Structure 1
């Protein structure tokens, strides 16, 4: 079995426990990461405020203009990826850093314009440097895994010949689907909560269509994107998706056991 671990890029996510767990996994592992904090910090140092927009469906995401895209190329495959690879090497894991552009790992279609909601009105914003993944070079990942390496990958992706941003949760979902893997999405909460304000209402397992409907109804804010990514992963061939806390003791091992929220393919049937 292959495990794809998505490590979030938010400030509240500490990757150290996950890196230690990867060193103890018996299964092959691919790491996919984001880097929102590193990007925002770099933009702030440049005197530029990050810009987030809301889509008509209520999903909030980053608007990536040309200058922000340049920051992405510095921060994700540069700073964040190098730090994670260094941490894994120090833990005894022979990790290899990749961006989605390397070897055509993640390719797709660019969205130069996006639909947004501003002041209650639907508008079209142009000049966005983001894209949707359509293909994953699974052969590249499988070759690295067969050679004993642990790939550590992040956006950007290659879309219409240009490096563009994409959501890291959805990138992890695409990788997990292409490899038929279990996807562990590590974030700063313990799973999906039936009441988003009450951690005691964690949804433990989602295996029926009714449970899946309850899951999507409960997800809000940043969790909406993670549930969307879980759906895409399962629809494209992933074995299972677990949304769990990166800050728990033994976060990956706990998630693969009974921690977090486990979403099963039959829930989408």
Structure 2
């Protein structure tokens, strides 16, 4: 099978121009098929505050009301996505910016209200990902750059966690490619002690994951990454890494620098 890298870059790197530029330089240099999924939460929060829209979060996930879905569509699908695409084009990488609505790439269902009403937030069934459209883009030598937005098929955009999108893409495409899913952010990996940058947990499995949660050693922001890593593994993706964006060159060679998630 052809190797495919599905790589997610976090908002904290996007907020720092030098770190982002270095990451995109490394990403542009990866040979063969790859897909980039980006976040951008802090930019949306900052611009939202300027517009009088205050962000609310529960367990690291944004509550998306009517005003917020307009905001994140503009910021994620517009400003951030097109800046990343333009930067990659400047580095010789023929990128194409997408949301889940484009070519119907990622349909989703609006999350049902249970104990929490998340608003216009989408949940993805990887089986509904339009792998034909994505495969055609990859076959044409294009590099999809996916914003963290999906659609409900009824004309509504849905805010969807970028980690979830990366996981769904990895699962959906694993039938056609040998997929390595890599979550890149500003830390060296999953840290046992947030005050110690070198306390990287090299391996997380179901057993120690339960212990780490019970001991409160996993920060809210990392929990969705690990949940989605396990979801990808359960669905057939064998390689999931969480590591430093600066280590991307290592992590596309078959080596591991960061935290490896296994079943």
Which band: TM-score by shorter chain?
Answer: 0.7 to 0.9
Task: Choose the corresponding residue for 1:189, options 168, 187, 190.
Answer: 187
Residues 130 and 164, structure 1, Cα contact 8 Å, conserved in 2: yes
Q: Which residue of 1 aligns with 2:162?
A: 168
Q: Which residue of 2 aligns with 1:43?
A: 48
The CA deviation string for residues 110-168 of structure 1, in whole angstroms up to 9 with x for no partner, is: 1253524xxxxxxxx37x11110112111111111111110001132112522111111
The verdict on how the C-alpha distance between 1:186 and 1:151 changes in structure 2, with shifts beyond 3 A counting, is same
Residue 65 of structure 1 deviates from its aligned partner by 0.3
Within 2, Cα distance between the matches of 1:184 and 1:79? 24
**1:3 and 2:9 aligned:** no
Within 2, Cα distance between the matches of 1:209 and 1:153? 29
Residue 198 of structure 1 deviates from its aligned partner by 2.1
Q: Which residue of 1 aligns with 2:88?
A: 88
Question: 1:1-269, aligned counterparts within 5 Å?
Answer: 1-10=3-12, 11=15, 14-52=19-57, 54=58, 59-111=59-111, 113-116=113-116, 125=117, 128-134=119-125, 135-161=128-154, 162-180=156-174, 181-206=179-204, 209-213=206-210, 218-246=217-245, 248=246, 251-256=247-252, 257-263=255-261, 267-268=262-263
Query: Tell me, what secondary structure is at the counterpart of 2:113?
Result: strand
The verdict on how the C-alpha distance between 1:168 and 1:209 changes in structure 2, with shifts beyond 3 A counting, is closer
Stretches of structure 2 lacking an aligned partner (at least 5 in a row)? none
TM-score computed with the length of structure 1 as normaliser: 0.84
Within 2, Cα distance between the matches of 1:9 and 1:215? 24
Residue 195 of structure 1 deviates from its aligned partner by 2.7
Within 1, Cα distance between the matches of 2:213 and 2:232? 15
Residues 216 and 227, structure 1, Cα contact 8 Å, conserved in 2: no
| Count of paired positions | 247
